[in-house]
Structure 1
Amino acid sequence: MTTFLTPHQRADRTSAAVGAAVAAGRGLGLTVSEPVVLHDVFSVVVHLAPSPVVARVPTALPRPDDLDALARRQRDELDVTRWLADRGVPVIAPSPLVPREPVKRDGYSMTFWPFVEEARGKEPDYAANAESVAALHAALRDYPGHLGFLSAADPDSIADGLDRLGRHPDLIGPDDLDRARREWRLLEPLVRSQGAFEARFPGIGIQPVHGDSPAANIFNGADGDLYADFELITLGPVEWDLAALGPELEAAYDRGARRNGMRPLDKDVLAFVNALGMLRAIATLALAPRLPELMEYLAPAVDHWRTTPFAGGMSG
């Protein structure tokens, strides 16, 4: 039987992350006397009040001991958001009050961002958001930094997650796990090799993309909307950023693509990224012992996956 983190253990983890953020902030010269937790799921996000700085501290990770790999990804996020901001793209950029580097403290690696007032009561307009993502893609085309191909998919974590799920039959049934493993054998080569992807989808092209559903990661700031949360910045097809959003938001993106001189979404690539996104959701169940609410969050995705064609209809 799988052992889940208790509420008390979860509170202790949050408290430890906040303590690390406060100590790191003070070590960087910030005044911190009233820390406020803003968000606590995969990361603890804490406002280091009264300083206008927010620390983001990842706490639920597939490989929590590999802080060097996490710091490399965090550095990519800091670099690309600073680059976008310098070009006038509306984005939450790194805090100017501390060095633009990940900070390791007490077993965590964290980044620092400006505190931005939220527009209270404003409902997200996901169609408008999806349409605007094409403008973000147009801006990202010229980003000169080195990024890994589909690193946002984190193929090692998918493989590890499916392995761990084999030892936890109460998280997912054997028939579902067998299907997921067979799908992964089909999709994995296209994730791990840019050459294999390009051979399967000739002429699609890849570029820097946000990596984590940017239409759902636009922050409604009091002074305007801002692109946020580039933790999974990656090279890939633009379709990756529209995975699992459905026909209405795909059509909205295509409207923005036409306006920004971008190509429309490719249906075959969408089938691939949608299938891959579903597998990432399945593999993420392996984190449920450390983040119990994932069982509830991911249940609708698993139910939907069972109704979809094998590997999104792709064949070997």
Structure 2
Amino acid sequence: MTPMTTHLTARQLADRTTAAVEAAVAAGRALGLTVTEPTVLHDVFSVVVHLAPSPVVARIPTVLPRPDDLNALARRQRDELDVTQWLADQGVPVLAPSPLVPREPVRRGGFSMTFWAYVEEARDKEPDYAANAESVPALHAALRAYPGRLEFLSSAEPWFVTEALARLERHPDLIGAGDLDRARREWRVLEPLVRSRAAFEARFPGIDLQPVHGDCPPANIFSGADGDRYADFEMITLGPVEWDLAGLGPELEAAYDRGARDTGTRPLDGDVLRFVNAVGTLRVIATLTLIPRLPQLTEYLMPAVEQWRTTPFAGGWDG
């Protein structure tokens, strides 16, 4: 009999959200904020809560590949806080850290959280992903001058892919043996270039590396009542600009290239795109291991897995 993976129940998920909110409220009050009406704005990989009436939003990551490694999470959160504050200081429209509390992660109740300035959302505005993709070259142009140090392709989380592919062998209800074998063979081809900047640069000579958003910026633009803002820089990294378009398809790639022409920057490179698309797909496979802690992921991930089965090995990238 095939063993079944145990998923968190609805009650356990609700308890996790409650614990995150309580930790954020306690941390906010300890920092001197008035919090009487905490309101959850978002709850997927992170719980995002408005600490009303204070104009402050807490973001508390709750679904992580290594939930116990809060030190690594805090390092990434510091990068995000530093980058977004720097962008805000340059006049780039971003969701910025709150000026009402120190700009650093706060640990409370087993969580590591960050605090952001509250911005009213234009809830009736539908996202225009093509327009968003066309605006991303302007973000890349701004990020190019960022003076801080970032790790090469840290948002690819190669350690997570490696660990997840090993763990998935024990969860045949999440992925079949044939699919897992293919994923492992693809990863053997891709992993060396993800882990080594020198290997990447040798394989893709002339492709510049720079700070990039790291987590699909066309899908992470916040529609504020006062205009759009770039948001969610949790995966900020050093990499090729193609990384920010991974998996988005020809229409949004073409929109990005239109924006690149307008900003005088280079268009996307097809070979690099095939590489980052292949890596992004394996990160989707790895994320199957998070389904037990976030069951709703199933409806998002399984169509991508089915699509992957129809594609050439490693997305047609020849290595």
**SS at 1:239 equivalent:** helix
Gaps of 5+ in 2: none
Counterpart of 2:116, as a letter, is W
Counterpart of 2:291, as a letter, is A
Q: Identify the match of residue 104 of structure 1 among 98, 103, 107.
A: 107
| C-alpha displacement of 1:120 | 2.2
**SS at 1:244 equivalent:** coil
Deviations 1:149-178 (A, max 9, x none): 000101111111111111100011111111
CA distance in 2, matches of 1:43, 1:28: 21
The equivalent residue for 2:315 is 312
**SS at 1:49 equivalent:** strand
Does residue 61 in structure 1 map to residue 64 in structure 2?
Answer: yes
The equivalent residue for 1:215 is 218
CA distance in 2, matches of 1:35, 1:93: 20
The equivalent residue for 1:281 is 284
Q: Identify the match of residue 224 of structure 1 among 216, 222, 227.
A: 227
Does residue 147 in structure 1 map to residue 143 in structure 2?
Answer: no
Deviations 1:268-298 (A, max 9, x none): 0000000110000000000111111111110
| C-alpha displacement of 1:255 | 1.0
CA distance in 2, matches of 1:158, 1:58: 19
**SS at 2:86 equivalent:** helix
Q: Identify the match of residue 234 of structure 1 among 222, 237, 246.
A: 237
Gaps of 5+ in 1: none
CA distance in 2, matches of 1:267, 1:29: 51
Does residue 26 in structure 1 map to residue 29 in structure 2?
Answer: yes
Does residue 35 in structure 1 map to residue 38 in structure 2?
Answer: yes
Does residue 293 in structure 1 map to residue 305 in structure 2?
Answer: no
Residue correspondences, number: 316
Q: Percent of aligned positions with the same letter in both sequences?
A: 79
Counterpart of 1:42, as a letter, is F
**TM superposition outliers: structure 1 runs of 4+ over 4 Å:** none
CA distance in 1, matches of 2:259, 2:318: 31
| C-alpha displacement of 1:145 | 0.4
Counterpart of 1:67, as a letter, is L
Does residue 44 in structure 1 map to residue 63 in structure 2?
Answer: no
Does residue 5 in structure 1 map to residue 40 in structure 2?
Answer: no
CA distance in 2, matches of 1:296, 1:253: 28
The equivalent residue for 1:243 is 246
Does residue 91 in structure 1 map to residue 115 in structure 2?
Answer: no
RMSD of aligned alpha carbons: 0.7
